Amino acid sequence: MAPNTSSQSLLYITGACGGICVFSYPGGTLVGELADSNTPLGECVDQSGDVFVLDFGAEGGTPGVVEYAHGGTSPIVTLSDPGYYPESCSIDPTTGNLATTNDSSGSGTGVVAIYADAKGDPADYVDPKIFYMGFCSYDDKGNLLVDGQHDHQGTFELDEMLEGSSNFKRIKLAQAPGSPLKLQWAGKYVALAASNTVIDHVVVNGSKGTVVGTTLLNGPVSGSEGQFWIQGNTIIAPYASGTGPYQVGFWKYPTGGRVRKNIVGTEFDDAEPVGTAVSLAQP
């Protein structure tokens, strides 16, 4: 890690640099590389700037969650996720709890694992309406939204577990995406990827989800891949053209349009960037 990185805002990108690339934000200069012998996928950040990276546990590794302090070079906490493969995560802004969505390592359905105060062993919550868990995000009131596949045919499902509850309810959409895709709470609504280049703004009221706006991401290549991250008026996402190199693009949010900035480098030559997350400089 380069000197003085802890005083800067940082962009963490999983899937490259031998595990995790760390760039200055919004500058986009490579300032660090964190080695990870497993398969790091999704990420999330708490209010202290700590970054939580989900390790899928490939190649004999142990599935779990690794926590790094802002600008830190070594894990400060490693949480186990026995029996599952974690894919996405979110921090409850009201409690500090950590939620992860998980694939089952056996024949069972996926679950949401919640770590109280992002510590210790998790409590597991099964949503009987979801066969395969996709992504998750807490809203500003501590309600947890998850998406996934309702059945083996891949029917889309969006559900919510209200703060203080242990059960999920279905959120009905007038027109649902065809498969579980990325989502993130964006202040007043849920930003839900309807495709690789279309992000719907969904307001949840009771058991109904209403699309109140849309962001279209256009650029020199066809679409974004991997986990996007919304930071203020910027959306960041990995993407690839299919013939060109992997890149990480910056677009205006929620206006979208053409990509405003690209990170392209040798760190993406042999590895696909997967997750993106911004950890802001701490006061």
What CATH number does residue 168 fall under? Answer: 2.120.10.30
Per-residue pLDDT at 15? 85
Per-residue pLDDT at 223? 46
What pLDDT digit, counting tens, does each position of 193-206 carry? 988 788 999 999 99
Rounded CA-CA distance 235/277 in Å is: 10
Per-residue pLDDT at 50? 98
Contacts 24+ apart (CB under 8 A), 179-183: 179/134, 179/149, 179/154, 180/132, 180/133, 180/134, 180/135, 180/147, 180/148, 180/149, 180/156, 181/134, 181/135, 181/147, 182/135, 182/227, 182/228, 183/135, 183/136, 183/137, 183/145, 183/147
Average pLDDT, the chain: 88
* pTM summary value: 0.93
Per-residue pLDDT at 59? 47
Per-residue pLDDT at 55? 85
Total domain count, the chain: 1
Per-residue pLDDT at 147? 93
Rounded CA-CA distance 81/171 in Å is: 27
Between residues 28 and 60, the one the model is more confident about: 28
Q: Are 248 and 236 in contact (CB under 8 A)?
A: yes
For residue 166, give its domain range.
Answer: 5-279
What pLDDT digit, counting tens, does each position of 84-142 carry? 788 899 999 999 999 999 876 555 677 899 999 999 999 999 998 888 888 999 999 99
What pLDDT digit, counting tens, does each position of 140-185 carry? 999 999 998 888 777 899 999 999 999 999 999 998 787 767 899 9
